[in-house]
Amino acid sequence: MRKTAIYTRVSTGYQVDKDSLPYQRQECSSYCRLILHVPDEEIEIFEDAGKSGKNTDRPGFQRMIKQVKAGRISRVVVLKIDRISRNLIDFSLMYETFKENDVAFISLNEQFDTSSAMGEAMLKIILVFAELERKMTSERVTGVMIGRAKNGDWNGARVPFGWEWDPDNKKPVHHPIEGPIVVQMYEMYLRDHSSSRLRDYLNSHDIPTKRGGEWTSKTVSDIIRNPLNKGDYRYNYRQSARGKKKSAEDVVYISGLYTPLIDPAVWDKCNSIMDSNSFFKNKPGQPHNAKRPHVFGGLVYCASCGSPFVISRVDKRRKNGFMPSSYVCGRKHRKEACLAPGISDVIIGPFVINYVSRVSRAAAKGKDFRNSGDLEAFLLDSPEFSDIVGIDQEGLEQMYALLCAGAKGSWSADPLKSSAGQSVKESEIRSKIARSERALERLKKAYLYSDDSMPEREFIQMRDEIEAERVSAQNELRNLQNDTESIVTDLSFFRSASGWLLAHHLNTDDHLVYSDIAAIVQPDVLRDFFRTVIRRINIRERRIYSIEFQNGIIHRFLYR
């Protein structure tokens, strides 16, 4: 059963009789019993002694509001309206809470009873003036703040990462610890062109944000975009913290007000890169271009939870030029439940390149194996596989059957497509690309040289649409060309997939040292080669648990 709440308040320990707590309780209780006919057991009294009505920071009031929001109060009764609030803004917010929870408000002195039409109308008139006061106060505060900003005064906002507040001079200054980190962030972004890679670096090195949280691409971008880092002061830039940008005439911008943390030229370069990335981001058919490809990125998965591994960091270049990447389970990276440890190219590379090399040589031997046991012994004849006792029988038998059945040429489970059909399809795609390029040229001429030229907005829109079609066709052609390449037994496949240098290393019977190969073969060549041969590598406890080849065969490894 919902109760009737009586609220009483005095601001000092001593007050005149008509403002005392006993007097307020008596008058309100009598009204509830005689006028509202509410029995005493359905009345609950909330009191605040010695509390000001200027704000709502009062324990009795807050307890009453909690009861209102919990749906346990049907009406609130006060002796006078100033007992519950002397601030019209606070009162209007309180009344909104009452309305949301279907609670009537009654003031005996002003004769407000919002359960009646007249009481509701009178209260709405008061709320109109409360809203007017709110807006006028907001305008006055905004005007004062903008005036302070134009004078170069800091308006009390939290200083960003890399800066701290100097209370003596009343301005932000360089933070002795965070400042050098910001300088390093700009240097890394200038090199890698990636806020995501910079985010992963900061989180993997346990560098917290200003509030002690984890970095996101957005917080990294906010640092790169902040003109304060080059010494400029910007105020009134957005409608709210993440709201829409305001027009240029509303923004207060003062150049060179503070000592720069970042060279303005470096700031301009980084923001130019970010503008370029933003323009091409999510464009239809636009491929992702990494500054430095990670050889096993997109191939490595967690055998425990099934999530793909993500890049956590890139180690320093070794003496021979090898720069291994490290990977961590994506689910663990998002602070979820997976406990799988990370892994790096130092472990993955030697295992995978030697195993693929053994598979290639096994395919070249073809029918020379007497049984699947001979094939297994041949595949595991390398120091990287010393702690493996065997290969799961199903995948081993599939490969043995395929090698025994096939002549030299292919051990792909899928038949090769018709070369004639591929040629026709490739010709159609190339024609589509040529048409798009011609259309782009005609569009540019029509925009630049026509007497009745099209608007710039229309030109940009049509240009982007044609460019997207061209890039999409190029990707389609690239995929078609990849489809024509299959896993073959001789080394011509490896040469076409990864270049003659990698093929030379794979063609030898010597043990392959991955770090030496990765130091001289371009990362994108290695990456494309492994992606052509392998579909997925599953990791468990820093070991290669299984390898799934592009032809569908899966080899699971049994460890000691």
454-471 pLDDT per residue, tens: 677 777 777 778 877 877
DSSP count for the chain of H helices, then E strands: 19, 17
Q: Any idea which of 59-63, 124-128, 184-188, 265-269 has the lowest mean pLDDT?
A: 124-128
What is the mean pLDDT of the segment spanning 78-98?
80
The whole-angstrom distance between residue 371's C-alpha and the CA centroid of its chain comes to: 51
Is the confidence at residue 534, as pLDDT, over 70?
yes
Q: Look at residue 42 in the predicted model and tell me its pLDDT.
A: 92
Residue-wise pLDDT tens digits, 29-45:
999 999 999 999 999 99
Mean pLDDT of the 213-242 span: 85
d(CA 194, CA 217): 9
Structure confidence at residue 241 as a pLDDT band (50, 70, 90): low
Cβ-Cβ contacts under 8 Å for 22 (sequence gap 6 or more): none
* pLDDT beyond 90 at 201: no
Per residue in 319-372, pLDDT (tens digit) is 777 888 888 888 765 656 678 888 999 999 999 988 988 888 887 776 678 888
The proportion of the chain whose per-residue pLDDT surpasses 70, expressed as a percent, equals: 79
Q: What is the pLDDT of residue 370?
A: 84
Q: What is the pLDDT of residue 187?
A: 92
Higher pLDDT residue, 254 or 142? Answer: 254
Task: Tell which wins on pLDDT, 508 or 553.
Answer: 553
Question: In the CATH scheme, what is the code of domain 172-274?
Answer: 3.90.1750.20
For residue 110, the model assigns a pLDDT of 75
d(CA 144, CA 236): 12
pLDDT at position 265, please?
92
Give exposure, 18-39, as e/b (b: 16+ Cβ within 10 Å): ebeeebbbebbbebbeeebebe
pLDDT of residue 249: 77
Give mean pLDDT, residues 287-300: 71
How much is the pLDDT for 485? 43
In percent, the amount of the chain with pLDDT more than 90 equals 21
* Residue 447 φ then ψ, to 5°: -75, -40
> Rounded to an integer, what distance in angstroms lies between the CA atom of residue 544 and that of residue 526?
18
70-79, 353-362, 374-383, 475-484: least confidently modelled range = 475-484
pLDDT digits (tens, 9 = 90+) for 378-433: 888 888 898 999 999 888 888 888 877 653 433 433 323 333 344 456 767 887 88
Q: What is the mean pLDDT of residues 221-234?
A: 91
Tokens of 257: 């007000």
Q: Which region among 208-222, 476-490, 492-506 has the lowest average model confidence (pLDDT)?
A: 492-506
What per-residue confidence (pLDDT) applies to 489? 37
Q: What is the CATH number of domain 3-134?
A: 3.40.50.1390
Q: Which has more confidence, 117 or 206?
A: 206
State the CB neighbour count (10 A cutoff) for residue 352: 23
Side-chain-side CA neighbours of residue 307 (13 Å): 20
**Residue pLDDT, tens place only, 7-26:** 998 876 545 455 688 889 99
Dump pLDDT digits (tens) for 257-286: 889 999 999 999 999 888 887 765 545 444
The C-alpha atoms of residue 142 and residue 41 are separated, in whole angstroms, by 50
| pLDDT confidence tier of residue 494, bands split at 50, 70 and 90 | very low
How much is the average pLDDT of 178-186?
93
* Average pLDDT rounded to a whole number, residues 56-84: 89
Closest Cα partner for 232 from 259, 202, 208?
Answer: 259
- Of the pLDDT bands very low, low, confident and very high (cuts 50, 70, 90), residue 127 is low
Average pLDDT of 434-446?
A: 78
- Are 4 and 38 within 8 A, CB to CB? yes
Please give the residue that has the higher pLDDT: either 467 or 227: 227
